[in-house]
Amino acid sequence: MHRGIWLVVASLVLAGLVMPRAQTLTADDVARRVDARDTGRDSRLEMTMRLFDRQGRVRERALVVQGMRGRDGQGDRMLVRFQAPADIRDTGFLVWEHPSKDDERFLYLPALGRVRRIAGAETQESFVGSDLTYEDIGGRELDQYTYALIPGPPTWTGPDGQAHQVWRLESRATAADAAYPRVVSTIRQDTLMVMGAEIYNRRNEREKSYEVKALRQFDGIWTATEISMVNHAQRTRTELSVTAARYNLGLTDAAFTRRALETP
């Protein structure tokens, strides 16, 4: 299962998970364990998105993110729905992940009354004007990257003020035309959470930075409740705050259809 939103979905794990010693794992092992961590059968998160421009002016949006783990041979499902303000209300984004073929992504634009499919070439473009990409939200394929564990400080001090053992994982895109071909992530060894990432462009310049700033447990599952994505090139920033979260609600496939996307 290949998670999106490292900004939210990629940062959720079951509390208290104990992992083997770091030196017994390869970089591929780490990547696959992060990808396969337990985040519940399904979830519903209420969130606030804040968009900061280069003058520090802010726009605020309210949204709900629903997700469901893949089963019966199908991949994960995700539906993002904006609730406010009026100019983006009812806009929706649907992701169908597929284990053996390309994922499908659909954007519903209520002003036009139609659904637009997001092509593969668009996945690293801005998601509804934010500093996040469609790929950040909708997930990335493990086999589209190669992985390496790189040297770095063995511990990371989190928002709780405590030091945690971490891996430094470098991911390199196999596609020559990737907008962001290299990412260096900081991953907590005890929870498999991606706590931060440095994102590099084709000139190998650090263009964006991702950071988890606060954690909280909902239904026994650790959740990243304050997340930031900074675009250093544009001098802009997007923040996400989780205001409520529920897990294992019993969601069904009906909540993740094209019809559901077009029916706020």
pLDDT for 166 beyond 80: yes
Question: How many angstroms from the chain centroid is the CA of residue 1?
Answer: 13
At residue 220, the pLDDT reads 84
Do residues 165 and 136 lie in contact, with contact meaning Cβ atoms separated by under 8 Å?
no
Q: Above 60 in pLDDT, residue 21? A: no
Task: Give the residue ranges of DSSP H helices in the chain.
Answer: 27-35, 134-138, 258-261
Q: What is the pLDDT of residue 203?
A: 95
Lowest-confidence pick of 25-34, 119-128, 186-195: 119-128
Residue 19: inside a domain: yes
Rounded Cα–Cα distance for residues 241 and 62 (Å): 10
Instruction: Tell me the mean pLDDT in the region 196-208.
Output: 96
Residues of the domain holding 214: 9-261
Question: For 127-141, what is each residue's pLDDT tens digit?
Answer: 999 999 988 887 677
Output Rg (C-alpha) for the chain, integer angstroms.
18
Asked whether 240 and 47 are in contact (CB, 8 A), the reply is yes
Measured CA angle at 183 (ends 180, 189), to 5 deg = 155
28 or 70: which leads in pLDDT? 28
User: Does residue 247 fall inside a structural domain?
Assistant: yes
- What is the DSSP annotation of 219-247? TTEEEEEEEEEEETTTTEEEEEEEEEEEE
Q: Is residue 55 part of a domain?
A: yes
* Residue 92 is assigned to a structural domain of this protein: yes
Which whole-number Å values give the CA distances from 98 to 38, 75, 235, in the listed order?
A: 18, 5, 35
Q: Percent of the chain, pLDDT > 90?
A: 61
3 domain-assigned: no
User: Is residue 1, in this structure, part of any structural domain at all?
Assistant: no
In this predicted structure, the answer to whether residue 20 has a pLDDT above a threshold of 50 is no
Residue 2 located in a structural domain: no
How many Cβ atoms sit within 10 Å of the Cβ of residue 177?
A: 9
Q: Taking phi first (over 0 means left), then psi (-120 to 50 degrees means alpha), and beta for anything else, what does residue 23 get? A: alpha
CATH of the domain at 49: 2.50.20.10
pLDDT number for residue 81? 97
Q: For the chain, what is the domain count?
A: 1
| Residue tagged 């998105």 (tokens) | 49
Residue 16: predicted pLDDT: 32
**Can you tell me the mean pLDDT for 99-121?**
87
**At a CB cut-off of 8 Å and minimum separation 6, what does 133 contact?**
123, 124, 125, 126, 127, 179, 180
- Is 70 exceeded by the pLDDT of residue 125? yes
Cα 244–Cα 250–Cα 252 angle in degrees, nearest 5: 110
| pLDDT class of 208 with cuts at 50, 70, 90 | very high
195 pLDDT above the threshold of 90: yes
Tell whether 16 is covered by a domain: yes
Rounded CA-CA distance 163/82 in Å is 36
